[in-house]
A and B are shown apart, each in its own frame.
Chain A
Amino acid sequence: MNTKQLLIGGLAVLAFAGCKPHLDTQAFNNGGLDFTRYVAVGNSLTAGYANNSLCRSSQMSSYPSILAQQFSAFGGGAFLQPLLKSEVGFPGPKLILGYTTDSVTGVTSLGPIPDPAPSDNAGDEANIAAQGPFNNLGVPGIRAIDFLIPGYGSLNPYAKRFFSSMTARPLAELGRMNPTFFTAWIGNNDVLGYATSGGSGTINGGFLDQNSISNSTLFAVALDSVVNRMTAGGAKGVLLSIPDVTAIPFFTTIPYNGLVLTRQGQVDSLNGAYTGTGITFKLGQNPFIIVDNSVPLIKRRPMVEGEYVCLTVPQASLKAGLGSIQPIPGQYILDATEVGNVRSATATFNGMIAQEAAAHNLAFVNMGAFLSTLSSGILYNGVNYNAQFVTGGAFSLDGVHLTPRGYAFAANEIIRNINAFYGANIPMVDVNAYHGLAFP
């Protein structure tokens, strides 16, 4: 290369460099937190459960996995999850969006259907505790009070996969990895089981009452035990509260007055059938008729605003007279009293979680407030997210758990609180980099 070429080349490089914008990225930091061993404790939400099942890709986009990814640039160590092989779902198939033809009307519509792909989870039931200890200890279905039950590992198909002992209490599993940092999102199922079963159980449930609201004394003991166990080695961490489950699509998708009558003939025949009961029908939207044993003789009544229909209600039957001629059984309905029970228990448990966080000087994330924000809509980089079923983009097809994008929002909310509480500046994730619902 002669001098002239060198000169021209040099000038070209200078010109090129000079015409490139240069923005410094912000200095992020971990605020002195030690992420060497981050352990996540929780239930299905922590495991990455979505679309009514658990599969490998949903585990990969669990919020703890997303958090670990963000922590990795700030001293975070490896993050081991008890990964499944299955993509279709374990133990049953996940829901996907697909077409079904209504047997009554003959109308084909898009909605959640079980993944028709052949099951691919053979071998996934085998215990993989030897590969542990694991960083993600999320067990779908586990309640806070279950952490105290000896032998829980043999009762829950997910716990059975990776718990090291089939006889010990789940609390013992928490001690296997001495965490430097942890998140704990427990307690949802201590309310949710009651709610999704239409308030089938009691409000003072013990260990065996899956459809009850957990006894609050047991809850307090379990919560304190979990937190003590996690902080035994001096770990810092985050406690997450329980969002109001009546705000999730499982309860908000089918309105209480979703009985839509389009023909006067329908109205007349229903009014005829209900003559003398005081219940009348009109064209348009009507409240569903539900079972209520407190009503003399007819044992039924119209729903009122503030009561909820579970997404699990047989929807084909709704078109064939369920909710009008036939009352909807209580297992599909969260009535006003039950809603009150759910909300009051949620408030009680959240008060305990907040207190526990304060007592141990841990960050507290108000997931109820987060869900309210989501419900009112989040405009994020050109996409409108909200808490609506399917169209909202954040909730998966079971109406309870989140999509990868929904979990990314949850991870960001946790990071926001970590940053605020611990004076850190950890970057949030680009929510749109994750998957939403897949449309056929």
Chain B
Amino acid sequence: MRKQTLLFLALMLPACLAFGGGYQLNLQGLRQLAMGGGGTAMPWDASTMFYNPGGLSRLDNFQANGSILFIVPSTQYVNDVTGVSARTQNKVFTPFNVYLGGPIKKAGGLGVGVAVYTPFGSGTYWDNNWTGRYAIQNIELQTIFIQPTVSYKFCDEVSVGVGVVIGTGNVKLSKAIPIQDANGNDGEANLKGNANGLGYNVGLSFKASESLHFGVSYRSRVDMRVKSGTANFTTATAIASQFPNTSFDATLPCPEVLSVGAAWKPIEKLTVQVDFNLTGWNAYDTLAFNYSAPVNGSMRSASARLYQNRIVSRVGANYQASEHLALMIGGAYDPSPVRDGYVTPDLPDANRIVLTGGFTYRIVSKLTLMAAVEYVTSAKRNGVSNETGFSGRYQNKAITPGIGLSYDF
């Protein structure tokens, strides 16, 4: 009798993987970042390969452009029933990007280039014994997209571009298993794996006049597939056979994004631009892990996400203060794709307000220094995860400085 009752342990499996808005980084170019993250209409520099590949053939020069950013995300959790409060550990993540490309000939029709950028690359680290440890202890996703790109300018007004996206990256997460050993220690699940995926990026750039520019771009969904990731479990010996160390497959969709933008120059030195990004978050319907050996009696653990598509609005301005110096400022409103009932502590997403600023300084004729900073603050969200019953209030903030150089050939 007793033996039978011990066979089935009602546990939560490590199914949760939520890469909400906070994991999608819009940090692919410092100029664009400094203007609220938009850049669909105006090909500011070689990083237009990300924002709108159609703009590449419109650049004045072939250009090398690179930057590195330092994100320090911070989340606070408060439970109003127990009074428990927790904060994520301070971890610095360093997304980067490198672009090499432009028109083959000055004022020619064809532009080529290659872009390397990190569209997702952040993590959430709670203390291992925190109150939500059975939902998540820590999670991190790093992706690098490599995008060879061609662009063609039909005429002064219209150019198009297309890039093939080759995605690679890795994911890891840890959570506690609610069965304690003789010393009172929880079990632990550690999953990690490399992920790969393919996609594309197309865009159209339209220069209506010297002072009015439009653009539209579409970045496809990239299904980052984890094949044979490692799933390691540490548990009390008595239940170790139910938690064998095994491997898993999973698919983490990086959502599609449709962007439209407009840029206007009311005076020669000032550019004002707006962008709208429709993000196909509904790709996050369910996240499933398929194990190669049964974990707690099950080959698969799935977690409903039911994310909603969202439109991010961005506005920014660039002011050419002098021959050498340009100043930028911007902001964005990034509504959360996460529905009520699906707010999880791995990334407790909420509507976010983004404020940015930056400058570029031409050091010598071909070399320009770029710097930008992004400040993101989320609404205070009172949320619950139906899957784990974990609830509370959350707030996220992150400050992200970045620095880079561009060189015109």
Contacts and interface: CB of A to CB of B under 8 A. Distances in A.
A440 B237 contact: yes
B134 A25 contact: no
Contact of A432 (B78, B131, B175, B239): B131
A253 B236 contact: no
B389 A429 contact: no
A148 B78 CA distance: 48
Nearest to A319: B1
A427 B131 CA distance: 15
Given A28-B83, A383-B12, A428-B81, A110 B236 contact: no
Nearest to A393: B178
Interface string B1-23: 11101101111100000000000
B238 interface: yes
B5 A440 contact: no
A19 B74 contact: yes
B3 A109 contact: yes
Given A109-B6, A391-B5, A391-B10, A382 B135 contact: yes
A332 to B, nearest CB: 13
Contacts of B8: 391
Contacts of A390: 2, 5-6
B367 to A, nearest CB: 26
Most buried by B among A112, A428, A438: A438
Nearest to A313: B1
A437 interface: yes
Nearest to A111: B2
Interface string B377-409: 110100000001110011111110000000000
B340 interface: no
Q: Is the interface of A mostly helix, strand, loop or mixed?
A: loop
A18 B399 CA distance: 9
Contacts of B236: 438-440
Nearest to B386: A379
Interface in A1-28: 15, 18-26, 28
Interface stretch (B61-69, B100-108, B180-188, B248-256): B180-188
B134 A21 contact: no
Nearest to B129: A433
B389 A381 contact: yes
B85 interface: yes
Contacts of A381: 131-132, 134-135, 388-390
A439 B182 contact: yes
A69 B293 CA distance: 44
A176 interface: no
Interface string A290-324: 00000000000000000000000001001000000
Given A380-B389, A381-B388, A440 B182 contact: yes
B395 A22 contact: yes
A75 interface: no
A254 B377 CA distance: 55
Contacts of A382: 12, 132-135, 175, 178, 388-390
B80 interface: yes
Given A18-B399, A109-B6, A439-B239, A25 B131 contact: no
Interface string B119-132: 00000000000011
A109 B2 contact: yes
B72 interface: yes
A21 B1 contact: no
Contacts of A393: 178
B397 A19 contact: yes
Interface residues of A, number: 48
A111 B3 CA distance: 7
A438 B180 contact: yes
A359 interface: no
Nearest to B389: A379
Contact of B179 (A22, A253, A436): A436
B399 A435 contact: no
A318 B3 CA distance: 14
A266 interface: no
A191 B397 CA distance: 56
A386 interface: yes
Nearest to A102: B3
A440 B238 contact: yes
A435 B184 contact: yes
A28 B84 CA distance: 12
A63 to B, nearest CB: 16
Contacts of A315: 1-2
A426 to B, nearest CB: 9
A109 B1 CA distance: 10
Interface string A414-440: 000000000000011110110111111
Contacts of A28: 83
Contacts of B134: 381-383, 432
Contact of B83 (A15, A25, A380, A436): A25
Given A21-B76, A430-B131, A388 B83 contact: no
Given A383-B12, A427-B82, A21 B396 contact: yes
B2 A384 contact: no
Interface of A: 15, 18-26, 28, 97, 107, 109-112, 253-254, 258, 315, 318, 378-384, 386, 388-393, 427-430, 432-433, 435-440
16 contacts: A18-B397, A20-B74, A20-B76, A20-B87, A21-B395, A21-B396, A23-B393, A254-B1, A381-B388, A384-B12, A390-B2, A435-B184, A436-B178, A437-B180, A438-B180, A440-B237
Interface of B: 1-3, 5-6, 8-12, 72, 74-85, 87, 131-135, 175, 178-184, 235-239, 375, 377-378, 380, 388-390, 393-399
Given A23-B76, A23-B78, A383-B11, 9 more contacts: A19-B375, A110-B3, A382-B135, A383-B134, A384-B10, A391-B5, A391-B6, A432-B133, A438-B183
